[in-house]
Amino acid sequence: MNALEILFSKRYIIKDREKELYYQIKDEAGKYKAFLSEKLGYHIIVTPYLIKLEKTMTK
């Protein structure tokens, strides 16, 4: 599974629970950021503790 599929299936990745997956998705997040926001209306939120995929409100 690639990073995008994992984020859609889990919605968030907690660093303490899935450290390898957290770093894999953090490294690949830049590739998908524009596509997710422009085409699908999602934002990737990356913090030191978790990575979260969040749906944004559209007008």
- Give me the pLDDT at residue 1, please: 67
Q: What is the largest CA-CA distance in the chain?
A: 37
- Give me the pLDDT at residue 58, please: 64
Check pLDDT > 90 for residue 50: yes
Distance CA 35, CA 31 (A): 8
Q: What is the mean pLDDT of residues 27-50?
A: 91
The pLDDT tens digits of the residues spanning 3-34 come to: 888 889 988 899 999 999 999 999 998 888 99
In the chain, at which residue ranges do the beta strands (DSSP E only) sit? Answer: 12-14, 42-46, 50-55
Residue numbers of the domain that contains 38: 3-55
Domain count of the fold of the chain: 1
Distance CA 49, CA 23 (A): 11
- Give me the pLDDT at residue 3, please: 82
Which of the four pLDDT bands, split at 50, 70 and 90, describes residue 48? very high
Place of tokens 């939120």: 45
